[in-house]
Amino acid sequence: MKYLVMVQGSQVDYEAMVGRGSAGSPAWNKADLKTMFDHMNAINTELTANGEMLDGQGLAAPSTTRLVTVDGDGKAVITDGPYAETKEVLAGYWLLDCASLDRVTEIAAQVARCPAPAGSPEYAVVIRPVDERGPRQD
C-alpha cells in the first residue's frame, strides 16, 4: 500500500538551519547539518534498497510559498509567502510503498529520531495512506 510520510517545520526552523537561531529554535552549525543529512540519507538508502521509496523531497523554506485562491468572480488571488497565520508547514515528504501500516510506522519512527541541536522543536511525523480508489458511494 502507498503512504505519504510528511515532516513538518516552520520558517524559523529553516532560518536556524542556516545559522540564524531564535528563541525555541537554536542555530545549527555545519556539523549539525551533516549529521541530519547523514541520518536522512541513510533512511533514503534503506528505502531505495528495499524497493519502498517511490519519491521523497525536502521542500524550500516557507518564505518561498505562493498561495492561490479565487475571489467571488473566479479571478486568481495570489499571495506570496511567508504566511504568518500558519506556524507549522510541510517541510518534506516521502511517498512510500510499504507492506503494512506497521512497516511505515517503523520508518516514521526512524525519521522522528532525526538528530537536531538541543532545544530544537520536535514535530510529529505524519503518515497518510494514499487513496488510490477515491471516494465511493456504494
Residue type present at position 10: S
Residues with Cβ within 8 Å of residue 74, at least 6 apart in sequence: none
User: Does residue 135 form part of some domain?
Assistant: no
Domain that holds residue 54: 2-129
Cα 75 to Cα 7, 65, 88, 91, 124, distances in angstroms:
33, 19, 28, 29, 36
Residue 137 domain-assigned (yes or no): no
Alpha-carbon gap, residue 3 to 54, rounded angstroms: 10
Q: How many independent structural domains does the chain possess?
A: 1
Question: What pLDDT, on the 0 to 100 scale, is given for residue 86?
Answer: 62
Q: Is residue 68 part of a domain?
A: yes
The predicted-structure confidence for 47-104, as pLDDT tens digits, reads as follows 999 999 999 999 999 999 998 999 999 999 998 876 655 688 999 999 999 999 999 9
Q: Is 73 inside any structural domain?
A: yes
C-alpha–C-alpha distance, residues 90 and 21, integer Å? 20
Burial class (CB in 10 A: 0-12, 13-18, 19+), 72: exposed
pTM over 0.85? The answer is yes
Residue 30 included in any domain: yes
